[in-house]
Amino acid sequence: MTHPVRKIVIVGGGTAGWLTAGVIAAKHRSRMPAGFSVTLVESPNVPIIGVGEGTWPTLRTTLARIGVSETELFRQCDAAFKQGARFARWTTGAPDDGYYHPLMLPQGFHQLNLVPHWLAEGDGRSFCDAVCPQGRLCDDGLAPKTITTPEYDAVANYAYHLDAGKFAPFLQRHCCETLGVRHVLADVRQVTLAENGDIRSIVTEQAGEIEGDLFVDCTGFKALLIGETLGVGFKDCSDVLFCDTALAVQVPHESDTSPIASHTISTAQSAGWIWDIGLPSRRGTGHVYSSRHISDDEAERELRAYLGPAGKDLPVRKIPIRSGYRETFWKRNCVAVGLAAGFLEPLESSAIVLIELSAKLIAEQMPVCREVMDVIASRFNATTHYRWGRIIDFLKLHYVLSQREDSAFWRDNRLPETVPERLQDLLTLWRYQSPWFHDEFDRVEEVFPPASYQYVLYGMGFRTEVEPEALADEARIAERTMRENIIQTERLREGLPSHRTLIRKIVEHGLQPV
């Protein structure tokens, strides 16, 4: 006798809950007339954490897949385009110290690794400018497409900046009105277990008992199901990533014509860094720092100094950060997504992409019956552990490459005992050959592909030894490719509108639906 998996119960809303609900419901809509259901239960009394989110280009695919209109995303979520991130003062701390991690691949990336040719050329151009137009587009405040570019299509690759407080209700409406998700506003008072240790139901104060076959824990840091009920432990990563506190503040624009940066700005401080995200109505900013290296008062002073007169009297919200992740993400018939699964400082906007990837994996591997669930859970756990490990490596890379000596925070971040072994091995390898497809980037859906490592490594002054004679065979192709990049850069700079201009046109006229 098999036990079919038909009733999916997601506990907790916010971006994690509603994005997961949308991905699962869209994938399995054809099964709903036969009894498949997605129910999302969230408390009417618990606010979401969201302070303003950076995303990855994967979100375009995700939203298109669940049937969301990109035009409505901009109209309802105070959305803006994101073309990458600029890291200021991370390498030396000097005022002119900065580089881009753009979202476009280097020119000709799948045919040729341009890194050794750029290193050998040494003409003074940054790596980003030599191989990709996007840094210049960001410098110019340009959008990544035009009003005639269809929804989700790109001229230059892009993601979004969003108001998370508006994004979750936007997803909720779409899930409930279009995808058939059942929404229950209720406080969970008890979680009941079956004899075999599975979760049988949740008991709510307002809606009574809700049974399910598969439960998705989106209860945030509380981790009500995976942590409190099933006892899955938490792997702390504060020995690698030191930042454990954030101070967030919303800064109004000076006027409704103020330029909007089309990239995240990350500016290093004495014991952490400040994010700066431009939305149409405001800037979302905040200071992420290590409380072991700086006091809350000192951190707030650094944040207000960064903001200048505009931030003098604005209220600041303190958010604790517990760096780490669950020892197991899917246990028995419960899988954790979002903050319940873990959290790392938002240096490279990895939170939402992890939600997307987890939701996609759950939807695609949805167990037909309980009897196969443990096999699927094991595969899910292996993949998700790999992803968390790679994100930790990539975030730590930014600190390891820093040459700053002005505080204990930066010096401590380079201590060998704080650097994951895999990252140490890769840094050794990269001294002699630059990251490309031959590295350990062996998964189909790497969160950070080899190009991302290239942009950070060579943006921060890392050097790979180059043998000029080994480049001779490809020299002509490399020269032509980098020349093509110059031509493409100028063409895009001439043809793309300003960021704010395009957003205004989208809100007024809409993009062409796909």
With 60 as the cut, is the pLDDT of residue 441 above it? no
- Supply the pLDDT for residue 43: 94
With 80 as the cut, is the pLDDT of residue 270 above it? yes
Measuring CA to CA, which residue among 26, 146, 54, 29 is closest to residue 354? 54
- Supply the pLDDT for residue 310: 84
What are the structural domains of the chain? 7-52+163-238+323-391 (3.50.50.60), 244-319 (3.30.9.100)
Span 201-241, pLDDT tens digits: 999 999 999 999 999 999 999 999 999 999 999 999 999 99
- Supply the pLDDT for residue 442: 54
| CB 334, CB 215: distance < 8 Å | yes
Torsion sign over Cα 273, 425, 239, 51: positive
SS3 313: coil
Residue bearing the bigger pLDDT, 472 or 323 = 323
Instruction: Name the band, by pLDDT with cuts 50, 70 and 90, for residue 439.
Output: low
Measuring CA to CA, which residue among 55, 44, 47, 43 is closest to residue 19? 55
Q: How far apart are CA 305 and CA 213, in angstroms?
A: 52
Mean pLDDT value of segment 73-90: 98
Angle between helices 164-177 and 14-27 (to 10 degrees): 30
| CB 93, CB 273: distance < 8 Å | no
With 80 as the cut, is the pLDDT of residue 462 above it? yes
Which residues participate in catalysis according to the annotation?
A: 82
Q: How far apart are CA 303 and CA 261, in angstroms?
A: 19
With 70 as the cut, is the pLDDT of residue 443 above it? no
SS3 504: helix
Measuring CA to CA, which residue among 135, 11, 153 is closest to residue 84? 135
Strand partners, 285: 249, 276
Measuring CA to CA, which residue among 242, 239, 354, 220 is closest to residue 288? 242
- Supply the pLDDT for residue 347: 92
Compute CA distances 358 → 175, 183, 284, 397, 450, whole Å.
18, 21, 26, 24, 21
Task: State the residue for tokens 């990336």.
Answer: 109
Count the residues in the chain. Answer: 514
With 80 as the cut, is the pLDDT of residue 446 above it? no
- Supply the pLDDT for residue 52: 57
Instruction: List phi, psi (to 5°) of 153.
Output: -80, 155
With 70 as the cut, is the pLDDT of residue 365 above it? yes
Q: Helix %, strand %, coil % for the chain, to 5?
A: 40, 20, 40
- Supply the pLDDT for residue 394: 97
- Supply the pLDDT for residue 438: 60
Measuring CA to CA, which residue among 295, 287, 255 is closest to residue 268? 287
Other Cβ atoms closer than 10 A to 31: 13
Give 195-202 contacts, CB < 8 A, sequence gap 24+: 196/332, 197/332, 198/332, 198/333, 198/334, 198/370, 199/225, 199/229, 199/230, 199/332, 199/333, 199/334, 202/9, 202/11, 202/41
- Supply the pLDDT for residue 236: 97
Mean pLDDT value of segment 258-282: 97
Q: How far apart are CA 480 and CA 483, in angstroms?
A: 5
Task: State the residue for tokens 């909720």.
Answer: 172
With 90 as the cut, is the pLDDT of residue 311 above it? no
With 80 as the cut, is the pLDDT of residue 46 above it? no
Span 127-177, pLDDT tens digits: 999 999 999 999 999 999 999 999 999 999 999 999 999 999 999 999 999
- Supply the pLDDT for residue 499: 98
- Supply the pLDDT for residue 466: 85
Q: Which pair of tokens denotes residue 204?
A: 């709510």
With 60 as the cut, is the pLDDT of residue 440 above it? no
| CB 447, CB 92: distance < 8 Å | no
Strand partners, 326: 234
Mean pLDDT value of segment 102-106: 97
- Supply the pLDDT for residue 312: 85
| CB 115, CB 454: distance < 8 Å | yes
First CA to last CA distance, the chain? 45
Mean pLDDT value of segment 363-376: 97
Instruction: Name the band, by pLDDT with cuts 50, 70 and 90, for residue 444.
Output: low
Q: Which pair of tokens denotes residue 139?
A: 């410098």
With 90 as the cut, is the pLDDT of residue 467 above it? no
Instruction: Name the band, by pLDDT with cuts 50, 70 and 90, for residue 122.
Output: confident
Rounded to the nearest integer, the mean pLDDT of the chain is 95
Q: How far apart are CA 128 and CA 259, in angstroms?
A: 23
- Supply the pLDDT for residue 513: 84
Instruction: Name the band, by pLDDT with cuts 50, 70 and 90, for residue 60.
Output: very high
Mean pLDDT value of segment 255-282: 96
- Supply the pLDDT for residue 51: 54
